[in-house]
Amino acid sequence: MIEAVLFDFGGVILTSPFETFADYEIETGLPQDTIRTLNSTNPDTNAWAKFERREINPEEFIELFQVEAAEQGFVVDARKLIENLHGALRPNMVEALRRCSNNLRTAMLTNNITPIGSQPFSADVQEVVEMFDLIIESSVEGCRKPDQKFYDIACERLSIEPEKCVFLDDLGVNLKPARAMGMTTIKVVDPDQAIAELSAVVGFSLN
């Protein structure tokens, strides 16, 4: 019996930051998936990983990321990149979250560069943030998905076993450790399909 639903934020509740990356690449003439490739090179120790764990400040990130890009032969304005990271709400996912929160425990598990509490969200995004019973964020915890510790923190604070959780994320690499722990996992590619899968798992309609 599922007792808690764990949601990624960007790429699940919000549109994906990869869309921001793609727009930037088109705007600047960079090859497709340049930013994603940079972020997946040395994924535990690169500038993006350090930034999401708050091991470096924004200015240090900008310098390090631009060096990493230059080493691969690219010129990237990292400041502009991070200034435009916020995605747009997906209304269907917001409704699914709302219905889940009426019946089950809910948590946000997000890799982010700035703590939620210090971000100037719009009123509608802030309303969604407040629906969650629990928020686990890399910039606060000092660890990030897919580190198992991140998921352990969520289960501990919810006082729940992994087998009683379902977790939604848009990246398979983040789902793998959750699944290994015993969580039910759903990869969000098509949000409508993901919502249908989640509805089947929790046993009630989400739209």
Is the dihedral angle over the CA atoms 149, 136, 132, 169 positive or is it negative?
Answer: negative
With contact defined as beta carbons under 8 Å apart, do 69 and 102 qualify? no
- The domain segmentation of the chain, as residue ranges, is 4-16+88-202, 17-83
Burial of 67 (0-12, 13-18, 19+ CB in 10 A): exposed
Assigned fold of 17-83: DNA polymerase; domain 1 (1.10.150)
User: pLDDT tens digits, the chain, 207 residues: what are they?
Assistant: 999 999 999 999 999 888 889 999 999 999 999 999 999 999 999 999 999 999 999 999 999 999 999 999 999 999 998 887 878 999 999 999 999 999 999 999 999 988 988 877 889 999 999 999 999 999 999 999 999 999 999 999 999 999 999 999 999 999 999 999 999 999 999 999 999 999 999 999 998
pTM of the complete model? 0.90
Assigned fold of 4-16+88-202: Rossmann fold (3.40.50)
Confidence (pLDDT) at 118? 80
Judge whether 4-16+88-202 and 17-83 match in fold. no
Confidence (pLDDT) at 85? 80
Confidence (pLDDT) at 183? 98
